Amino acid sequence: MGIKHLEGVISAIVTPLHSNGSEIDPQGMKRLINFLIDKGVHGLFPLGSTGEGILFDVATRKKVMDLVLSEVNGRVPVIFNVGALRQQDVLKLAQHSVEIEADGIAVIPPFYYGLDESALEKFFSTVAKTVDCPIYLYNIPSNTKNSISVSLFSKLAGRYPHIMGMKESSMNFADFYELVQAAESTHSTLMGNDAQFFPALAVGGSGAVSAGSTAMPEPYVALYNAYKEGNMEEARQWQEVCAEVKRMLLASFPAGGHKKALELRGIINGTVSAPLRQLSDHEIKELENSMEKLGFLGADRTPRKFI
């Protein structure tokens, strides 16, 4: 462990399953990891929302962690989402991440019950005191009911130096801008909205934890590379493609579009976990048509440069 600054395109990867929807598909996971690394992503974010992480028990999540880290073998940073309903499970997953020498963990707030800032501070402090590894707070209030304020992030990061940054998925760009302004130069400020990747970089953000890039990494990597090379107009145009990819993949049920797109590209089986549902035949046909329009059918196809 010891990543100093997480940046670039961090793919929020799906979790490949066998067709029964209940067993991890190790070969599918290996194909996905190598596909993404070959396409140039800068890191992996397993077991998040797109990875259906909270639908798996602790033992299954540990199995996924072991499999991912073994296959990556140090080629890119791996940050595991350890969020869970029970604090005990969060700590078990965090400790396992340390034991297998992952590059860090991401922690969402407790969910279902509404908590005040004092309770959230105590929760994150407990995690930080339990494990000495890079920690990234993960703000996604639409799913957790509880929001991580920038002031709380700053307080916690000032107290615990191994809190290294935050993924901001509130979908409110003003929140992200406030985070960037408050963060230290050593902190990673990570955008969680694919439609705002380029603006996030433009205001000083470190990169994006991107769901769309798990299925179609090419435009996200191209956007980041263009930005780093100073080609702002090209980066802006790639942002249009990324936004279209987001709309296309979220047109149907959560995670289903991402997995089915990867199936259509020949990478994995597109099965999702219950209670998520599979895409209908009509939805699959619409997705296939959209992917064909953008040039994303097949793992080795070159996408159209701009829509």
Of 235 and 253, the structure prediction assigns the larger pLDDT to: 235
Which pLDDT does position 226 carry in this prediction? 98
User: Other CB atoms closer than 10 Å to residue 119's CB: what's the count?
Assistant: 14
pLDDT single digits (tens) 115-126: 999 999 999 999
Residues 6+ apart with CB under 8 A from 50: 12, 13, 14, 211, 214, 254, 255, 258
pLDDT at 200 exceeding the cut of 90: yes
**Rounded CA separation 252/281 (Å):** 11
Q: What DSSP element (H or E) covers 243? A: helix 232-249
**Rounded CA separation 160/229 (Å):** 34
Task: Tell me the whole-structure pTM to 2 decimals.
Answer: 0.95
pLDDT at 2 exceeding the cut of 60: no
Strand, helix or coil for residue 83: coil
pLDDT at 1 exceeding the cut of 70: no
Name all contacts of 283-286 with Cβ < 8 Å and 24+ positions apart. 283/251, 283/252, 283/256, 283/257, 284/260, 286/251
DSSP assignment, residue 251? S
Residues 6+ apart with CB under 8 A from 235: 198, 201, 223, 224, 226, 227
Annotation: CATH topology of 8-232:
TIM Barrel (3.20.20)
Name beta bridge partners: 107.
Answer: 137
pLDDT single digits (tens) 255-307: 999 999 999 999 999 999 999 999 999 999 999 999 999 988 876 655 555 44
Strands (E), the chain: 8-11, 43-44, 79-81, 104-107, 135-139, 163-168, 188-191, 207-210
pLDDT single digits (tens) 59-94: 999 999 999 999 999 999 999 999 999 999 999 999
Strands 43-44 and 8-11: parallel
Of all residues in the chain, the percent with pLDDT exceeding 70 is 96
Strand, helix or coil for residue 86: coil
> What's the rounded mean pLDDT across residues 136-155?
97
Which pLDDT does position 304 carry in this prediction? 55
**Structural domain spans, the chain:** 8-232
